[in-house]
Structure 1
Amino acid sequence: MIRTELTSTLLAGSCLLDSTSTPQNNLKGALIERLTTYYATLGVSSSISDTCTLEEAQLRTAIESLCIVERIQGIISVNNGSTSTEEPPLLGVRDLAQIRTLLSISFHWGVEPLLSRIVSAWPERPNVATSNVTQIIDLTTMPEDYHRLSDLTSRILRLVFPAGPQQKSSNSLITEALLNRHLKDIFEPAIALGWLPKSLASDSMPPLEDARPFVMRLLGTLPVSQTIAALGGVISTRSSVQHVRRACGYLLSRQLLRPDGIRGLCAAIFGESEGDDIKLEQLEHVSRTLSMVPANINPQDYFSAIIPRLVDLLHDAKSIAFRRASSFTISRLLTNIETSSPAPQIILSTLHFPFLHVSSPGMAGGSPSFPDVAYALSSLSILLANSDPSPKLISTLLSPIIAPLYAVMHHLDSSRTSDPSTREIVHDTIMTWFRVSAAEEAVATLMFILDDQDGKLELGFDGKIKRAERISDPLSLFTPESLRQAEETGQLESGANWLDLYPDPVRFVGFIQSINRQDIISNFFVLVLEAYRDNEKQNNDPIQTLRYLQVIIQMQTFLSNDSKLGGFQDPVQILKFIEQVLEDSQRHPNQTSQKKEDFPSRLAQLSLEEDRDTMEEGEDSDDDMVDSEKRDIGTEMTETALIILLSVLEGNKALSTRTTPILSNILLLLEHLITGDSPNGIKELAREVRLVLTARLAMQNAPNFKDDEDSHQRDVQKVYQQALKLLQDPILPLRAHGLLLLRQLVSPSRSEQFKAVDPALIPAIQDVFMQSVQDNDSYIFLNAVQGLAALVDHGGAPVLKRMLDTYTCGIDGLEGSSMSQQDLDTRLRLGEATGIVVSRCGTTLGTHGNYIVPSLLRVLRSSNVPTALKMSALSLLADCQKTYPLVLLPFFGDLSGGTLDLIQLETRSTEFATTIEDEPTSKNSKFPGLRRAALHFMSLLLKGTIENIYDTSFRRSIYSEDLIRRTKLILSYISDTDADVVVRVMAREALELSKQLEYAIIDPFAVG
């Protein structure tokens, strides 16, 4: 029975659609024909006439379509109140398609035209005219149209809630089709009539108050995304009607305040959009919608409700669009909203609460109503990752919590059980802030962290932060026994945080290094140096002094590994600080010996003053400890000052002794460091600074290019300028290349350039070479040696004299007896350069012999110089003999007799356990290398004399019979008794040459 009724009803509905008939061009006639067939099928008389208009035919079709849908709803509904036990029939696919078409006709030809005519008759007009055609509205039909629309709207709402808005909704497929396809079409008339203001209502057109509970019930039961999309559609299509727009805004805000309101808004706007499909207009729509506070809601209450949900939406791992929308909205609320809005304060309070509300040791941290640290960190990270890289946003979000964030990072880095992902988020968040923040703010924050003695925090297992317990008196940590144990276990080694300082200096400086911003690093370093100096002068808290000192030492280590520290905003200020440090090192040369004890040991000693009388008799003080030779504060400050000076010079290319007078004073202080008993590291740094200043001054004093100059001269000047520029570079290969360019510039092999070098440039070039000879890098000092040798060919005797003066300087005084390895290496390298010069001179060596040979004899006769330097002198004499023997003729007697004396006196019958390579600065003349060098020179003297006797260049009497006899006797003895095999072989070779010399003297064919 039910099935038959359903079939007949569907058949009648198909007449309204007339899907089987051919299309007709006359729509009104077609509709009248369909309605006539429809009424005939139902067995009722037709009430439609041919005189009706097209609009009336369409409206009648819409009304009858809704009637068919209502009858079908009543047949298939399980809640129709029927007592029949027959199961309700099921609808097929074609049946559902027919019902959907009927519903569309009801809205398209019924609800929409009626609503459009009614809205057009209301006194309110659109803000923007959409058409220039004036519409004529028939106001006489308005009451009838209004009642028809009200009736249609009520009937449609009853399809959803057959028993009323307070009862359950229908679960039929018709209801599903209505809600899924026509929710906006339902809301349009229901809101327009249900929320009709009194100004527009009348007795003939009363508000449809019954529609309100239906709409509110729909808004409360349907998904938020669906209702928001429908309400948004109503606003966009009927935005010219003020009361509709106002009512939709109110209802929309109510939907947003639902627990899943914001998520529903995003779902309605983005739909299936993900990743690259997200448009800026969609993000702005979400932000604009959530930023507008409803008129009847307190802004504080509104933002307090939606902001925690926005933060929660940041963690939606399923939708990229939702995260971006939430991030975009929060960023706009923070940066673009009015200053009077409570939104920024609520956002920051929500995100910052776990970091700023810290409990005391032993108490539970945080508040259960606020998220824990991990959640807040994740929120900040996601927010920054999905927002525009705005410095203002980053500063607003992170500036108030950088100090506690660093404390959390410090704790996570110190704990082996910390979550790696949390640790990475904290580090990335802090680094993001430091990369975009102003240098002044960043430096002030770093100093605040360094000075905050109560800033150390701990992260509990409950995810809350609490303040770490402080050591009440860290200076009383060590007793003599515990101090000894701490030294044995390495707790007092450099870099060890043995006082549990916060921040840990090693990690703190490592973090500053990772910031990789030179302006922050340099300015912070200057502030720490000044703070340390002031703290020392005022004798303030020793723990704070130690904290500054440890940071300085660690930064010095960092700077020594990477000296590219530049960007000092006030070079003169830092230069004054450097000058003061260097003056202190010169003014108090014994300060090092007075402060040899390790600083931790001195602090521990302060805490043990009262127990000094109880120490065991005979126990030595800290001065005799193994650690007593550690670097003192003055040494650390001096080395740090030199590193900073290099950095300042690199960052300020215009600074030189010519433009900045204070650098002249610093250069004099550098000479004191280089020539004094400073550590090798300080000497090396001082030499590097001196080379940079020398090259920079030479570069600024060089003549400018002139248009009328020869092309070769211009090329030489360009190479000269380029070489000096490279010599100032901190990168060693570039500095070495600059030295190579200078060497090539004065090389005789390049005759054109060699001739074009301005003689006025020679002193500066020689200064560079003389300083580079002292460098520890082999490539640099070898190029310097070659450069000096080439420079003698161009500069002549003055260049060679300066080399020899440096070679023999101070060998008779205290300097010679306490010659360092570096000083010895410098002299040996100058000797190597002199040897190259000697080999190149040929017969012109005679012009230099009057100051070369005496200088070398002075070295041989000195008892203070190392044996290696005497070997160098003998080697140079041998080079002179090989190059031009006549240069030694005036000194022949002294040289031959002195060499024999040396061989005779320094012979040794037993071997040394050590070699000269083991003790390069040793003055022990018994090393076999010295005898080898002397025998080599003696052999060259004998061989050269023999050759020259036959060439009649020498007189036969130059070697007397007594000298020959003595030579043969000594050489014979050495060849039999010396402990060194090489010495014995060389002695036999020289002995053979002495015999040949004797034959040459008595040879009657020899002329002389």
Structure 2
Amino acid sequence: MSELAATLRAGSFLIDSTSTPQTQLKSTLLQRLQNYYNCLGTSSTIDDSASLETVQLRTADEALSVIEKVQQLLDADTVGTAAPLLGTRDLNQLRTLLSITFRWGTDPLLSHIISSWPSTSSSPIAGAKSLILPRLQMITTILQRHIPEILKSSISLGWLPKSLATDTMPPLDEARPLIMRLMAMLPPAEAIVALGSVMSSTSSVLHVRRTCGYLMSRQLIRPEGVKGLCAAVFGDQEDVDNVELDKLQHISRVLNTPPATKPEEYFSTIVPRIVSLLQESHHPAYRRSAAFVLSQMLSAEGGTAAKIITGVLHDPLLHVNPDTESTAATVALRTLATLLTNSDPSPKIISSLLSPVVPPLYGLLFHLDSNRMSDPELKELVRSLLTTWARIVSTLEAIDVLWFIFDDESGQWRTDLEGGIRRVAGTQPYEKLSLFTPEDLKKAHESGELDSGANILNVYPEPRHLVTFLKSTNRDDILSDVFVRLLESYRDSKNDDNGNPLRTLLYLQLIMQIQTGMSDSSKSAGLFSKPIQILIFIKQALNTASTSHPVPAPPPKQKKENTGHLRMSDLRLNVEIEEGSSSEKGDSDDDLSDSEAFTADDEMNETTINLLLSVLEANETLSARTEPILNEIFELLEPIATNGPSAVRAVAREARMVMTARLALGDSASPKRFNAETEDPREIYQKALKLLQDPILPVRAHGLLLLRQLVSSDSPESKKLDPALVPAIQEIFLQSIQDDDSYIFLNAVQGLAALVDNFDRSILKRLVHLYTKQLDGLEAGNMSQQDVDTRIRLGEALSLVIRRCGEALGATGNVIIPPLLRVVRSRTVPTTLRTSSLSLLADCQNTYALAVLPYFVDLAEGMVDLLQVETSSATPVQNSTMDDHPTSTNSKFPPLRRAALHFLSILIRGTTKEAYESSGNPPLSPELSKRMRITLGYISGTDEDMLVRVMAREAAEDLAQLELARVGL
């Protein structure tokens, strides 16, 4: 028989396939050891006097000896010869021996060692002088099943700090390189799973936890580390899309924990791999986790990871790099879209991802729209990104970012033969002006190059395309602000002698395109729905022109006006242009001595006044009564209407006439005051309903805010609100009160309170019913967290209503107080709700004590009963709190007794005050007084909660004052 076979045969005596009862385990193990030693030809050194733990440890020691001997024989036999083969039975035997080694050897000894570390005793623990540590050279197929056990013992002792090391327990320094080699051999997923198992099983050992974290970081920076982490959490099965939030948060915590020494190097390594995981097509769970991790990193403003993420995603779109592949920009775009699709719709994240690249994205969209051979899928992707950004960001941010389009000189977009896109050096060229021959003029007219919106000079951004994009966002506020800013820029550019005339022309074309696109009344109403900004610009423009260049006195003789300048008289809405007028304005004889001077300020005045007429035309109720700024504009128009050039004088007089007629119509028609900012309540209601159906949370929250403002007492629309709409609004609030978002449910709470306060008081009965329903039976003890939260929020609404009632509470007290008292007395109701009901009863007492006075006896006896039954002595100590278990019916939580004592105190004080003020006899019988005094005295001296004892003493003092009032003192 070979030595290998003999060793395996000896090891077989340590294994018994039959189960052994625990009572016979020691004798059985001794018999196995005896057979094992007999097979080896040695004598046994252990007898019946040894303990079971000692026998188990000896068995584990010998099992490890067999494994090491087998490994040595295998290593020796493989030198120059073929390796001997082990059968399936032999491998199973070795696995069993290794399991015995860990179960009865490594694990118990390691537990002894770990338990000794916090101890200050210098005496070693018996049996802990050495630790069975399996060698890493053993058979790989057997070893992989016990990686966590090997890591647990090796890390515990291999990285043992000096503060825990002793002479009998030195650090196993030789284990460190072996563990590092093992970690490098294992796939990242297996290594991460093993390290996680060690961390969870030894979470209380600080140096083990830190070492595992260090080793985990080394695994993450391996090429497949990030993907291995996802495989460890979600598994490697494809097409798994069931993603739990706690798993996403776990992955995020792991990846967001860099080494303390080199965080930048760590994030620079893993962030590109997380980004690349967004394109994982076979594992939706991996893609979702990558998006979640990136969104969490982006939420930390100014963080190292956030800067790296934006660099990876933005660089292919922002910079010209001839070395990059033509697919880099396309990959960046698809990655951005995937990240936004798989992340929560956070305006902050959308802004940080898209705002820096809006100018190049718009340039790419213009390039794709201009190229008929463009990829339609890519074009729609770019358009969706821009539209998403425009609908989410604030107006101010949108205007600032869009304005960078005018100065985007980082490069042009080009499409190669393979369909790839890239940025190339250069800026948008301006073609030189050239004269049209009659033949060229005919061709240009036939091709449409002479249309009013034609971009003859190839300026960028192309006016018609940019205006079309702005209108597609459906953001009238953005379009309106862009319009005002264009007007201001056009004014400044006209007055700048060193300005670029092509830039001035670009501003003018954009203004005209916006005006043309909004020429019908329905669209212009959106552009001018909030005209205050435009009116401010009009005032500033007229004021600037009048102070810098006062209107001169007219010459004694006026000649025909021929300016030779590009005019904006077509800025008016619905203005008909007579045929032949363009040819007259096309003549240029400014150099003639008898021509009327027409300066840049005059042209700006004409533009501004035509804009004023457009605003007035779009807002039929706009007058100086609703917008006082029109009074100032009216005064600024007077010198222009008197002394300005004829064309400007005409429009200035027309504007003053319209404004005067508006004001006169307001005085004669009705004393009712119009408000341009006030919308019809039904329109607000419909707008709010539309917003509430939006999938984006901030949009829904805004819709709820509109409804709350609509029913608020300080809202003028609430007085005009149709009562038929109130039930639907109430239902919306009741549904929204269940939302997890605090902004939404707080608005719903305030909205419900406003409904009760301003409309039908019968709503109060329903709120009380919803708060107290189904709390009388046994089902009250099986309430879910959501049900408890909903009732607590209903209680917040009731609290607002109660505090607003004032003396009117006397008429509704019978609706509120008895149901609340029933909730307080019910032991099947969660303690959180009983405490909430006590708080509401306290609100009733504080709001109007007379409403509570008829229920004094029932309330006082109820509080005494509760305190007698639920008092807790100082011996036991609560390990959990009511906040930890909000659905629990455990009535021993201190907050319940505190709430009862608080309510009893204010009930007593309120009754005392009423007795003194009315000189009446308080409803306090001697029996109830004695019972209250005894109960409060007992609680003040024995309750486990210090605050309860203090409140009981204060309540006893208040009771003494009530007793004095009862006897007339």
Question: SS of the counterpart of 1:17?
Answer: coil
Structure 1 unaligned blocks of 5 or more = 126-135, 161-174, 359-364, 601-619, 669-676, 679-684, 705-720, 731-1008
1:418 aligns with 2:374: yes
Would the alpha carbon gap of residues 508 and 243 (structure 1) be closer, same or farther in structure 2, given more than 3 Å must change? same
1:344 aligns with 2:310: no
Percent of residue pairs identical: 39
Which residue of the partner structure matches residue 243 of structure 1? 207
Tell me how far 1:187 sits from its aligned partner. Answer: 0.9
| Inter-partner Cα distance in structure 2 for 1:551 and 1:728 | 35
Which residue of the partner structure matches residue 306 of structure 1? 270
Tell me how far 1:502 sits from its aligned partner. Answer: 0.7
| Inter-partner Cα distance in structure 1 for 2:72 and 2:31 | 27
Tell me how far 1:595 sits from its aligned partner. Answer: 7.5
Which residue of the partner structure matches residue 489 of structure 1? 447
What amino acid maps onto 2:64 in structure 1? L
Structure 2 unaligned blocks of 5 or more = 569-579, 589-602, 639-646, 649-654, 685-969
1:103 aligns with 2:58: no
Would the alpha carbon gap of residues 345 and 70 (structure 1) be closer, same or farther in structure 2, given more than 3 Å must change? same
1:225 aligns with 2:183: no
What amino acid maps onto 1:262 in structure 2? V
Which residue of the partner structure matches residue 548 of structure 1? 507
Would the alpha carbon gap of residues 84 and 23 (structure 1) be closer, same or farther in structure 2, given more than 3 Å must change? farther
Would the alpha carbon gap of residues 464 and 571 (structure 1) be closer, same or farther in structure 2, given more than 3 Å must change? closer
Which residue of the partner structure matches residue 174 of structure 2? 210
What amino acid maps onto 1:278 in structure 2? V
Would the alpha carbon gap of residues 99 and 210 (structure 1) be closer, same or farther in structure 2, given more than 3 Å must change? same
Tell me how far 1:387 sits from its aligned partner. Answer: 2.8
Tell me how far 1:691 sits from its aligned partner. Answer: 11
Task: Report matched runs for 1:169-568 at 5 Å.
Answer: 175-179=140-144, 181-271=145-235, 277-295=242-260, 297-336=261-300, 339=302, 342-358=304-320, 365-368=321-324, 372-450=328-406, 452=407, 454=409, 457-461=412-416, 463-471=421-429, 473-476=431-434, 478-479=436-437, 481-536=439-494, 540-561=499-520, 562-563=523-524, 564-565=526-527, 566-568=529-531
Tell me how far 1:231 sits from its aligned partner. Answer: 1.9
Which residue of the partner structure matches residue 982 of structure 1? none
- Give CA deviations for 1:700-747 in whole Å, capped at 9, x if unaligned: 53599xxxxxxxxxxxxxxxx9xx9999999xxxxxxxxxxxxxxxxx
Would the alpha carbon gap of residues 369 and 199 (structure 1) be closer, same or farther in structure 2, given more than 3 Å must change? farther
| Inter-partner Cα distance in structure 1 for 2:533 and 2:484 | 10
Task: Report matched runs for 1:640-659 at 5 Å.
Answer: 641-647=612-618, 656=626
Tell me how far 1:422 sits from its aligned partner. Answer: 2.8
What amino acid maps onto 1:288 in structure 2? R
Instruction: Answer whether contact 2:623 2:630 (CA < 8 A) is retained.
Output: no
Which residue of the partner structure matches residue 159 of structure 1? 138
Tell me how far 1:492 sits from its aligned partner. Answer: 0.7
Would the alpha carbon gap of residues 467 and 536 (structure 1) be closer, same or farther in structure 2, given more than 3 Å must change? same
Would the alpha carbon gap of residues 349 and 89 (structure 1) be closer, same or farther in structure 2, given more than 3 Å must change? closer
What amino acid maps onto 1:285 in structure 2? H
Would the alpha carbon gap of residues 542 and 379 (structure 1) be closer, same or farther in structure 2, given more than 3 Å must change? same
Tell me how far 1:114 sits from its aligned partner. Answer: 0.8
Would the alpha carbon gap of residues 579 and 316 (structure 1) be closer, same or farther in structure 2, given more than 3 Å must change? same
Tell me how far 1:507 sits from its aligned partner. Answer: 0.9
- Give CA deviations for 1:148-179 in whole Å, capped at 9, x if unaligned: x1xx3144x2314xxxxxxxxxxxxxx32421
Question: What's the Cα RMSD here?
Answer: 5.3
| Inter-partner Cα distance in structure 2 for 1:659 and 1:470 | 41
The one of 562, 583, 596 aligned to 1:623? 583
Instruction: Answer whether contact 1:196 1:207 (CA < 8 A) is retained.
Output: yes
Q: Mark the structure with the bigger radius of gyration.
A: 1
What amino acid maps onto 1:645 in structure 2? L
47-56 or 509-518: which moved more? 47-56
539-548 or 212-221: which moved more? 539-548
Would the alpha carbon gap of residues 17 and 333 (structure 1) be closer, same or farther in structure 2, given more than 3 Å must change? same
Instruction: Answer whether contact 2:77 2:84 (CA < 8 A) is retained.
Output: no
What amino acid maps onto 1:555 in structure 2? I
Instruction: Answer whether contact 1:592 1:635 (CA < 8 A) is retained.
Output: no
| Inter-partner Cα distance in structure 2 for 1:703 and 1:313 | 61
Instruction: Answer whether contact 1:18 1:34 (CA < 8 A) is retained.
Output: no
Tell me how far 1:393 sits from its aligned partner. Answer: 2.5
- Give CA deviations for 1:766-791 in whole Å, capped at 9, x if unaligned: xxxxxxxxxxxxxxxxxxxxxxxxxx
Instruction: Answer whether contact 2:369 2:379 (CA < 8 A) is retained.
Output: yes
- Equivalenced residues, count: 634
1:701 aligns with 2:661: no
Superposition TM-score, scaled by structure 2 size: 0.55
What amino acid maps onto 2:616 in structure 1? L
| Inter-partner Cα distance in structure 2 for 1:25 and 1:384 | 63
Which residue of the partner structure matches residue 88 of structure 2? 91
- Give CA deviations for 1:586-622 in whole Å, capped at 9, x if unaligned: x99x99995899989xxxxxxxxxxxxxxxxxxx998
What amino acid maps onto 1:545 in structure 2? T
Superposition TM-score, scaled by structure 1 size: 0.53
What amino acid maps onto 2:479 in structure 1? I
| Inter-partner Cα distance in structure 2 for 1:492 and 1:390 | 45
- Give CA deviations for 1:464-520 in whole Å, capped at 9, x if unaligned: 312445445532374554334312322111222222121111110011112222221
Question: SS of the counterpart of 1:88?
Answer: coil
Which residue of the partner structure matches residue 55 of structure 2? 57
| Inter-partner Cα distance in structure 2 for 1:503 and 1:107 | 73
Would the alpha carbon gap of residues 660 and 529 (structure 1) be closer, same or farther in structure 2, given more than 3 Å must change? closer
Would the alpha carbon gap of residues 17 and 726 (structure 1) be closer, same or farther in structure 2, given more than 3 Å must change? closer
Tell me how far 1:139 sits from its aligned partner. Answer: 1.6
Which residue of the partner structure matches residue 757 of structure 2? none
Instruction: Answer whether contact 1:646 1:689 (CA < 8 A) is retained.
Output: no
Question: SS of the counterpart of 1:153?
Answer: coil
Question: SS of the counterpart of 1:293?
Answer: coil
254-263 or 196-205: which moved more? 196-205
Instruction: Answer whether contact 2:64 2:134 (CA < 8 A) is retained.
Output: no
What amino acid maps onto 1:474 in structure 2? K
Question: SS of the counterpart of 1:475?
Answer: coil
Instruction: Answer whether contact 1:355 1:373 (CA < 8 A) is retained.
Output: yes
Would the alpha carbon gap of residues 725 and 313 (structure 1) be closer, same or farther in structure 2, given more than 3 Å must change? closer
Would the alpha carbon gap of residues 559 and 687 (structure 1) be closer, same or farther in structure 2, given more than 3 Å must change? farther
| Inter-partner Cα distance in structure 2 for 1:458 and 1:414 | 11
Would the alpha carbon gap of residues 121 and 593 (structure 1) be closer, same or farther in structure 2, given more than 3 Å must change? same
Question: SS of the counterpart of 2:137?
Answer: helix
What amino acid maps onto 1:153 in structure 2? L
Tell me how far 1:689 sits from its aligned partner. Answer: 11
Task: Report matched runs for 1:875-894 at 5 Å.
Answer: none
Tell me how far 1:268 sits from its aligned partner. Answer: 2.1
- Give CA deviations for 1:122-145 in whole Å, capped at 9, x if unaligned: 3579xxxxxxxxxx9972535xx3
Instruction: Answer whether contact 1:235 1:245 (CA < 8 A) is retained.
Output: yes
Tell me how far 1:374 sits from its aligned partner. Answer: 1.7
Tell me how far 1:448 sits from its aligned partner. Answer: 3.2
- Give CA deviations for 1:952-980 in whole Å, capped at 9, x if unaligned: xxxxxxxxxxxxxxxxxxxxxxxxxxxxx
| Inter-partner Cα distance in structure 2 for 1:292 and 1:728 | 52
What amino acid maps onto 1:31 in structure 2? L
| Inter-partner Cα distance in structure 2 for 1:240 and 1:484 | 88
What amino acid maps onto 2:138 in structure 1? L
Would the alpha carbon gap of residues 59 and 658 (structure 1) be closer, same or farther in structure 2, given more than 3 Å must change? closer
